[in-house]
Structure 1
């Protein structure tokens, strides 16, 4: 991170949902372009979105900075203590049962950086916050469902792919989710 004192992280609240939603939309629309076609991005969007359980559990973070005297949300992401690996409130196949730290993995969830703020260490900051909190909660392993664009960051931070899942979007395009894990 160029200037770590420049950024502040905090636990997200319900009040943050509109700003989180806008940040997610911007991140998906722009940050995936180097890896996916526009139709592939559209298919990927079907499994992305706000997961209110992360916010109500107090496991979702926002990162902010000040720009011209205004506080701006520049990234968001967190960890989950529930079994759902990825997706928003609307995603099918959710499993909101609590995970057992002795036998289950925690989850890194819903990581997004605003396109104006990429390559400044914000993804790493969010991973460190989530991994630390999961470790403090007694988890020994952490897993995530990565997009194709997210995979390089997660591999650089020690995550290893163990399964690749493909979905077909409503537009007929493939959406790839890479299941990854790391020991804490």
Structure 2
């Protein structure tokens, strides 16, 4: 499997079914050492999934190999920090690049493709687009298994946030951020 066999492209609305499938497989495969089965089920039910605004904005990407979705992730110039279309914590409106940080959003990698650099490719794509859009900072809400990945990319933050879900299940996230030089 070579790096050249993976294609990174903007996600399209007709990708939603395959993206949601990838997100569920990733969540079940990569979260099991950090969250309980009940927490993963609740995250999939109430938080994880596609945010169609990112697809409409062309800021959500998929990496595929021979039609199989291997990874996805994106960034946003909208106020919502995390969550799919079904998530209760959504906010309306756009960010001001002069005063607000862009959002890094919804990175998921299929367990069969973990540790192959796909997340890194997505992060490079997103950060380049963020800077091109005039943002000097980003922020994100990390899952527990994502902490090491985001820290390796220069994101800082260690305050755990207890997030209650509609079914009473509580999960922990960590809010993180990164600043870019204005070169």
TM-score (ref. length: structure 2): 0.92
Using the alignment, how far apart are the partners of 1:65 and 1:154 within structure 2?
24
| Structure 2 counterpart of 1:153, from 149, 156, 172 | 149
Using the alignment, how far apart are the partners of 1:28 and 1:114 within structure 2?
9
Using the alignment, how far apart are the partners of 1:173 and 1:3 within structure 2?
41
Using the alignment, how far apart are the partners of 2:140 and 2:175 within structure 1?
6
Q: Does the 8 Å contact 1:39/1:171 carry over to 2? A: no
Using the alignment, how far apart are the partners of 2:56 and 2:80 within structure 1?
15
Partner of 1:51: 51
Partner of 1:132: 128
Give ranges in structure 1 of 5+ residues lacking alignment.
none
1:7 maps to 2:6:
yes
State the aligned residue count. 179
Using the alignment, how far apart are the partners of 2:97 and 2:158 within structure 1?
20
Using the alignment, how far apart are the partners of 1:164 and 1:133 within structure 2?
28
1:24-83 deviation line (CA, Å, top 9, x unaligned): 1101111111222212222333221110000000100000112xxxx2111111000101
CA RMSD of aligned residues (A): 1.5
Partner of 1:60: 60
- Higher strand share goes to which structure? 1
TM-score (ref. length: structure 1): 0.91
